[in-house]
Amino acid sequence: MDFFKENENDTWEKLRADCGRCMNCQLGRTRHNLVFGVGNEQADVMFVGEGPGEQEDLQGEPFVGPAGKLLDTMLELIDLDRSQVYIANIVKCRPPRNRDPLPDEQSACIGWLTRQIALVQPKILVFLGRIAAQVFIKPDFRITREHGQWFDVDGRRAMAMYHPSALLRDPSKRPETFVDLKTLQREIKDLHV
């Protein structure tokens, strides 16, 4: 796959404008705000979540609700903050009642994210939760067994971690996530990023 090939004709302005008026799927009809993405457009590390929740839909920014607060803490644990990474989601509009985005919603939306990745050109991709990992790593990705392991995604280092919402529901998964975060921190150091 050549997901993230640089396209010299694409720009953030163009992408924001195209994506901003997207009605490629039914989620466009119920959104308050489209949640494009946020962070450092030259980041070496990019985090990919699943889709906006209630607060994200209201504020138009990813990970600003309770899961987002926990993501901030996770970043802090390895001396990162939002200004150093880029954060985006598989789908840009909130699925009703926070259900999983449907396969046709994911495919209608994924082109925006691949353009974001192509513009950022991160060295490391971190997928938050099963849904994002299944899209980019492999369709049968098992988050309980394969979180914290490194994969190659189009020549980039890629790993999945438990989604912060899962960690809020089940705090017993937090120690494993701490180990995954330390693995990520080591990789960042090793790459001198």
Q: Which amino acid is at 63?
A: F
Nearest approach in angstroms of CB 129 to ligand URA is 7
Q: Which stretch binds ligand URA (CB under 6 A): 4-12, 44-52, 104-112, 147-155?
A: 44-52
Q: Of the candidates 22, 43, 45, 56, which one interacts with ligand URA according to CB under 6 A?
A: 56
As a whole number of angstroms, the distance between CA 169 and CA 163 comes to 10
95 binds ligand URA (CB under 6 A): no
Strand, coil or helix: 34: coil
Which of 149, 148, 170, 193 has its CA nearest to residue 70?
A: 170
Task: Specify which residues 152 forms β-bridges with.
Answer: 157
Which is closer to ligand URA, CB of 28 or CB of 193? Answer: 28
Task: Specify which residues 126 forms β-bridges with.
Answer: 47, 159
39 binds ligand URA (CB under 6 A): no
Nearest residue to the partner ligand URA, using Cβ: 49
Q: Where are the beta strands (DSSP E) in the chain?
A: 38-39, 45-49, 86-89, 124-128, 151-153, 156-161
- State the first-to-last Cα distance of the chain, in angstroms, to the nearest integer: 25
Q: Of the candidates 37, 39, 53, 101, which one interacts with ligand URA according to CB under 6 A?
A: 53
167 binds ligand URA (CB under 6 A): no
Which is closer to ligand URA, CB of 89 or CB of 177? Answer: 89
Which is closer to ligand URA, CB of 103 or CB of 190? Answer: 103
Q: Which residues sit at the interface with ligand URA, rule CB under 6 A?
A: 49-53, 56, 62-63, 67-68, 89, 165
